[in-house]
Structures are given as C-alpha cells and as structure tokens.
Structure 1
Amino acid sequence: MKKFSYLMLLMGTIFTLAACGNKESDKASSSATSESAKTVTVTDGNGKEIEVPVDPKKVVVFDMGMLDTMDELGLSQQVVGVPKKNLPDYLKQYDTNDYESIGGLKEPDMEKINELNPDLIIISGRQRDYQEELSKIAPTLFLGTDYQKGWASTEGNIETIGKVFDKEELVTEKLADLSKKIDEVKEKATASSDKALTVLVNEGELSAYGQASRFGIISDTLGFKMADDAIEASTHGQSVSFEYVLEKNPDIIFVVDRTKAIGGDTSKDNLSENPLIEQTKAAKNDKIILLSPDVWYLSGGGLQSTGQMIDEVGAALK
C-alpha cells in the first residue's frame, strides 16, 4: 500500500513538472511571437501615420532613393524584390538572382509581389496609384519627396527608414555628413555671381526646372542663383526652346538627359553642339554640366544618390 501511494505521488509530481514546463514553453513562445510582431508608427510622405513592422526581413522596394539608403545602411539582405527594369547603374548589384523582379516603376507586378509575401513595401510617386492595392498585400510605406520642402523632405524620409529598421544612430551620422557637404557647396554657390539653368533634354526637346521642382536641390538646397526665377514649378518642367536658353544666357547649364536614363534616340541631345547653345556663357566657359541621368531622373532622395548629386553640382564651382 505504501509503495502504491509513493508511486501515485511520484506520478503526480512528474505531471506537475511537465505542466509547468509546458506553461514556460508557451510563455516563451508567446514572448517570441510578441517580439516578432513588434511594430512602429511612422509618418509617411503623405503626412499620414502608418503602422509598420520593426526591422522587417522581407522588403519590396520601388523607390531607388530608399533602396540606396537601405544599401548604405547595410540592409541589402532584407530586400527581396526591386523593379529591375529601371535600376540605375549605381544599383546594378540588385540585378541578380538574389532579388526578384517586381515589374516596372509605373507597372508593379502584383502577382509576383503577392508571391513574395513581403513584410513591408516601400513606394514613391510613380507607384502612388497602386498604394491601396499594394496595401492589401503588406503595409505599404509611401516615401515620395516633397519638392516644396526640399532637403527637409529628404531628411525626413531617410530618418523614417532609420526608425523602421532600428538604424537611427547611423542615419544621424550619415545625414550629418551630407549636411556638411551641402553647407560647403552652398557657401561657394552663394558667394558666386554665376547664374544657373537646369534643363531636362528628351530626344532634342527641352524642359527647364527651377525652385521647388524635382531638381530644386540645385537652387533650394545648394544655393545656386537661377538664370530665370519665374520658371513654372511642375513635375515635368516648363517646356522651353533653345532660343529661350540663349535669351537667359546662364553661366552654368545643368543637363539631365532623360533619353539616356530610359533609352531612346540620343542623337539630338548633345546641347554643346547646338549653335544657339554654343553662344551662351556656359558653353564658352565650359560650364555645361552633364548630370548622371540615372541618378537624377530615376533616383534621388537617398543617402547615396543625394551625396552623388551634391558632388556633381559642386563640381561646377571648381
């Protein structure tokens, strides 16, 4: 009888320990789930608050500036899909089998994105029409640059990336480096009497860009004086003629070649060979600055692209 009682007591103790063990296991599992489901609320480029996962491991990225920012922050392994059809040259490392092609900048491949089952999707202006549809697949963060705010908008977008991926200290350091470069160029540009004109050339057709435009970084952030202060601020620029350029007669002409960026007939895009452009002060002083078209037209607004843009514009002052 005593042996039987002892046996029952021993079995009861075993069951109790097993139950406790299961509770601890469940508790640990619950804690892990809670940790993996951790989110953060950020403000997107539309000024709206959105809840996104912290340090997401599977990210689809459409915006080239945000892609180069993630790359600069050492987050390339967390990217699973990019628009390979429109990758700028400086991001060609993403045109490999390690990353899926998710369509074009203006035509996302919704089926492929859905297959990837991402934790986060990052978009900008070119994908704005698809934001609602993409949000049904995963939290979709809009980080388009607000040209009215210029550098402040760029800073804000990069800081948002830092917050989402828990890289805030590193982002602060990187932005401080960019701010220093901006100040150095701005000091020289402000002291110079040279006036600049920024044009986009597309198969021989010209568009001019001024303040608060997609290329407004040149005047608004870097302090270059404009050859024309009345240029209409619009996404596609103000259509102008070669006669207009000669009339304004800028000391510096910054050129973004859209045709080179997206492909097409570039035979008419060499401004230096145009007889009217040859008469400008910019041509005579060898100050027609050809900006990297893939950076300026396809990208911009990121840690790497902004740094390159500052360097290219600053070269005009040397």
Structure 2
Amino acid sequence: MAIRLTRAAGITALALGAALALTSCASGAPAEEAPAEEQAGTVTITDNHGEIEVPVNPEKVVALDNTVFDTLSEWDIELVAAPKDVMGSVWPEYTDDDAIANVGSHREPDLEAIVAAQPDLIIGGYRFSDAYDQIKEQNPQAAVIEIAPREGEDEVSELKRQTEILGQIFDREEDAEALSTELDEAIAGAKEAYNGTDTVMAVNTSAGQIGYIAPEVGRALGPVFPALGWKPALEVEGATDDHQGDDISVEAIADSNPDWIVALDRDAAFAPEDREAGSAPADELIAGSEALQNVTAVQQDQIVILDPNFYLTEGIHAYTDLFTQLQEAFSAA
C-alpha cells in the first residue's frame, strides 16, 4: 500500500532531517566532504616536468609561451605579465595594455617583472625554457608549469595535450575538447585533399634566404608530413629542427623538383623596421628565384605561404588554420 505524506507532514520530516544533520555535525560525526582539490580550488596536472598542483582559475597569470596565447585570448584570460617583445602585433589586448608588465624577450628577459607581478600561475617554457629553474626559484608562491609541445613527441597529440591542461586550469574543459575536435577535423580534410603522390617541399624564408625544413623533425612544417602522409621531395640525412632551416642550397631544392612548396615566412610576422636586412616576401623569393624557375611547384603555381603570424603563434589555433588552408589549396589544384 502506497504511503502519501501530507504537506504538513512533509515539512515536519524535512525539519527533523535538518535537525538530525546539525546534531550529527555537532557530535563530531564525519560529514561528507568535497575532494581536497575541489575545496582548495586546485587541480593536479602533468606538465613537461611531472605532476604539479595548480590553482583553478588563478587570479594572477603570467604567460611566456607563445603557443598558448591564442587560447588564453579566446577564453578572455587576463594576464599580469607577458613577453611583449616576442608577441608582435598578434595579441593587442595583451601587448597594448600598459597594466600588463613586459617581460621583454627570451634573449634578454626581465625576470624581475614577473617577481613584481606576484603571480599565482606562470606558464613558462617554449622560448623561455632556459629560464625555467630561475623563474621557479624566484617565484616560490607560484605554480610554474611548462606545457609546450615536447621535442620528439607527436606534435598533434602534444597540442591537444596542452589544450586539455589549459582547460583543466581555467575550467574550460568543454572548450578545450572543442578545439581538439576542430584540429582533428581540419587534419582529416587536408589529408583527404592530398592525392598521396605529389611531392612536397617545406621551406622557410628569412633575410632573403630560402631554408630547407626537414620532414617530421623540421620546425613548424616538419610535423605536417606524417600528419597528412605527404611524400617528401627531398630527405636529407642529419636534418634538424633549426628555426633558420637547414643549410641546403636552392639548387638542391630545385633538383628535387617538388610538385608543391609550402613556406613559412619568418620575417612576415614582424614590422618592416624589425625585419632582418635583405628580407623579402616568401612568395617573391620563391617565384623570383632563378634556380627554381623550372620547378613544377613554381610552374604550376602550387606554392602555399603560411599565415604571416604562424612563426609567432604555432599553437592549436595556428595548426588548425594551417590544415584548413592546405585543404583548400590541394582541393583547388
């Protein structure tokens, strides 16, 4: 037989339950508590050095790693200090804000600016990796982390890992997952657009010179080769990830006769007065090179120039946009 409580009886039962709960607390009986991390407002993440406890939604954030700025900007994360000298004009909300201290550049960092900001969290690494120990020693009150993609690891997986960690720290896990999904979709689209047989050459340009970027290990574009299954036009033993590109002659590039040339213009991200002497746009250098005139990529105008700011960003947004750009270029050929 079902038992139905009257409204008055229900209220009485609720009151009795509340009284018993209070009595239990007063008598010292253990009450169910939230996890320690939730109570303290922290989360344990695994950065490039191991496990570390960091605050969730920290009040004072210093970011030194260029690969995270797009994500922080999209999520409206405020900063107290940043390396404005290596940020170009990509993030004016940070570089133009006088309230955000300037840490300078990785070559001559103003580490005292970080100390003065008294941050709760410092996202170091990438260009500032050499200063990690010093930053950690000078800022004992802060959680100092490095989450930039690690050398020797799959770049795509590392970008997704970095984004997942940021999502945990700033309570944006769904947004982080969405960014990773967008990257996967962009890769799938670019991979489908590639015919599997055309040869590809990756280069960078700076100060009027064309440098070779090695498949897999080369800076910025190297990881794109395995991600899309590209057939390299040229593979050089002992190639490196040097940001200048390896010292391979333009004639050697021409002899490999690539069907496609994909280029990173290192000078394009900087204002003309800040560029190295002799710099010129990548498309002019490649198309105007006498040695490359008979190369298939030049003859058929199959040259893809990365976004001018890619050299500064190199995060998950930059790669998602790059794969989308490659899909469009290869589909249109």
TM-score range, shorter chain: 0.7 to 0.9
Cα separation, 1, equivalents of 2:329 and 2:281: 24
Q: In the superposition, relative to structure 1, how do residues 174 and 258 fare at CA in structure 2: closer, same or farther (>3 Å)?
A: closer
List per-residue Cα deviations over 1:141-168 (Å, max 9, x = no partner).
1122125312011111111111111211
Determine which of 221, 229, 235 is the counterpart of 2:235. Answer: 229
Tell me the secondary structure at the aligned position of residue 188 of structure 2.
Answer: helix
Cα separation, 2, equivalents of 1:194 and 1:316: 13
Q: Does the 8 Å CA contact 2:42/2:55 hold for their aligned counterparts?
A: yes
Cα separation, 2, equivalents of 1:248 and 1:89: 37
Give runs of aligned pairs for residues 59-70 of structure 1, distance below 5 A.
59-70=61-72
1:289 partner amino acid: V
Determine which of 31, 43, 46 is the counterpart of 1:40. Answer: 43
Q: Does the 8 Å CA contact 2:250/2:291 hold for their aligned counterparts?
A: yes
Q: Does the 8 Å CA contact 2:69/2:313 hold for their aligned counterparts?
A: no
Cα separation, 2, equivalents of 1:80 and 1:222: 39
List per-residue Cα deviations over 1:73-110 (Å, max 9, x = no partner).
x2333x22221112144323322224322211333211
2:318 partner amino acid: S
Q: Counterpart of 1:122?
A: 123
Cα separation, 2, equivalents of 1:90 and 1:310: 20
Cα separation, 1, equivalents of 2:55 and 2:293: 55
Tell me the secondary structure at the aligned position of residue 171 of structure 2.
Answer: coil
Q: Counterpart of 2:92?
A: 92
1:217 partner amino acid: P
User: In the alignment, is residue 139 of structure 1 matched against residue 124 of structure 2?
Assistant: no
User: In the alignment, is residue 264 of structure 1 matched against residue 276 of structure 2?
Assistant: yes
Q: Counterpart of 2:210?
A: 206
Q: Counterpart of 1:217?
A: 223
Q: Counterpart of 2:183?
A: 178
- Larger deviation: 95-104 or 150-159? 95-104
Q: Does the 8 Å CA contact 1:147/1:153 hold for their aligned counterparts?
A: no
Q: In the superposition, relative to structure 1, how do residues 161 and 37 fare at CA in structure 2: closer, same or farther (>3 Å)?
A: same
Q: Does the 8 Å CA contact 2:66/2:126 hold for their aligned counterparts?
A: no
Q: In the superposition, relative to structure 1, how do residues 305 and 89 fare at CA in structure 2: closer, same or farther (>3 Å)?
A: farther
Q: Counting helix residues as a fraction of each chain, which structure ranks higher? A: 1
2:105 partner amino acid: G
Q: Does the 8 Å CA contact 1:62/1:82 hold for their aligned counterparts?
A: yes
Give runs of aligned pairs for residues 230-249 of structure 1, distance below 5 A.
230=236, 232-236=239-243, 237-249=245-257
Q: Does the 8 Å CA contact 2:187/2:324 hold for their aligned counterparts?
A: no
List per-residue Cα deviations over 1:246-279 (Å, max 9, x = no partner).
0111111111122333522214852211111122
Q: Does the 8 Å CA contact 2:83/2:104 hold for their aligned counterparts?
A: yes
Structure 1 runs not aligned, ≥5 long: 1-30
Tell me the secondary structure at the aligned position of residue 268 of structure 2.
Answer: helix
Q: Counterpart of 1:155?
A: 160
Q: Counterpart of 2:14?
A: none
Q: In the superposition, relative to structure 1, how do residues 36 and 115 fare at CA in structure 2: closer, same or farther (>3 Å)?
A: farther
Q: In the superposition, relative to structure 1, how do residues 183 and 220 fare at CA in structure 2: closer, same or farther (>3 Å)?
A: same
Q: In the superposition, relative to structure 1, how do residues 147 and 224 fare at CA in structure 2: closer, same or farther (>3 Å)?
A: farther
Structure 2 runs not aligned, ≥5 long: 1-33
Cα separation, 1, equivalents of 2:280 and 2:210: 14
Q: Does the 8 Å CA contact 2:89/2:95 hold for their aligned counterparts?
A: no
Tell me the secondary structure at the aligned position of residue 218 of structure 2.
Answer: coil
Cα separation, 1, equivalents of 2:66 and 2:125: 9
Cα separation, 1, equivalents of 2:85 and 2:233: 36
RMSD: 2.5
* Identity within the alignment, %: 28
Number of residue pairs the alignment of both structures matches: 282
Q: Counterpart of 2:7?
A: none
> Structure 1: which 4+ aligned runs deviate by more than 4 Å?
34-37
Tell me the secondary structure at the aligned position of residue 80 of structure 2.
Answer: strand
List per-residue Cα deviations over 1:34-69 (Å, max 9, x = no partner).
9784322211134x2222212112111111221111
1:264 partner amino acid: E
Cα separation, 1, equivalents of 2:41 and 2:67: 26
Shift of 1:183: 0.7
Tell me the secondary structure at the aligned position of residue 187 of structure 1.
Answer: helix
